[in-house]
């Protein structure tokens, strides 16, 4: 009888402790969200002291850091493959936005190449995240999982090659005649197009 009573008391203590811990986690989550917002405001104020494209780049960096921090916070709150993908996507998107903005300091073909390179890096990061998500996804049937991962890798490889090819082809634009033709043929060969 005493054993049963002690067992019930112990179970209730554990329940109360875990309930208190969940409330604490919510408070910590809210505090972390507040810190993210405060960090963004400070970064934005710093950006306001800059001019021209430097200000635009700074704003993209600040927004990107905020988006990444939010995704990481959500991933800590709910750790799974989907959350990990969201963090990787937030990083890829943030890096892409900053890289594109930095291209605005350039002109002509250099700017076009810069933007294509930024796009290729973005595609590469997104496709790598998709493959990682497929690899991390739980599966009841390992042969189906292997097939899903293989398909994700195949798709990723194709997307990355196409983006890299477009960037390489853009580098050929300022060339003329046979030089341009050779450059484009080399780009096709190098990227399996």
Q: Which helix (H) or strand (E) holds 191?
A: none
pLDDT, one tens digit for every residue, the chain (193 residues): 444 444 444 444 444 443 333 333 788 888 989 999 999 999 999 999 999 999 999 999 999 999 999 999 999 888 888 999 999 999 999 999 999 999 999 999 999 999 999 999 999 999 999 999 989 888 788 888 898 889 999 999 999 999 999 999 999 999 999 999 999 999 999 988 8
- pTM here is 0.78
Distance in Å from the first CA to the final CA of the chain: 78
**Phi and psi at residue 192, in whole multiples of 5°?**
65, 40
């Amino acid at each position: 009888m005493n054993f049963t009573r002690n067992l019930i008391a112990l179970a209730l203590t554990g329940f109360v402790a875990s309930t208190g811990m969940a409330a604490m986690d919510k408070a910590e989550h809210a505090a972390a969200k507040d810190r993210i917002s405060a960090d963004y405001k400070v970064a934005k104020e710093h950006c306001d002291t800059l001019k021209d494209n430097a200000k635009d780049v700074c704003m993209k960096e600040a927004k990107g850091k905020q988006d990444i921090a939010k995704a990481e916070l959500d991933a800590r709150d709910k750790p799974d493959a989907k959350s990990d993908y969201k963090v990787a996507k937030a990083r890829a998107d943030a890096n892409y936005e900053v890289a594109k903005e930095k291209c605005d300091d350039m002109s002509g073909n250099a700017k076009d190449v810069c933007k294509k390179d930024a796009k290729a890096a973005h595609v590469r990061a997104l496709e790598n995240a998709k493959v990682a998500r497929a690899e991390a996804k739980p599966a009841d049937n390992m042969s189906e999982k292997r097939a899903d991962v293989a398909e994700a890798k195949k798709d990723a490889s194709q997307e990355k090659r196409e983006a890299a090819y477009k960037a390489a082809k853009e580098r050929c634009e300022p060339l003329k005649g046979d030089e341009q033709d050779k450059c484009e043929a080399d780009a096709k060969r190098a990227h399996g197009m």
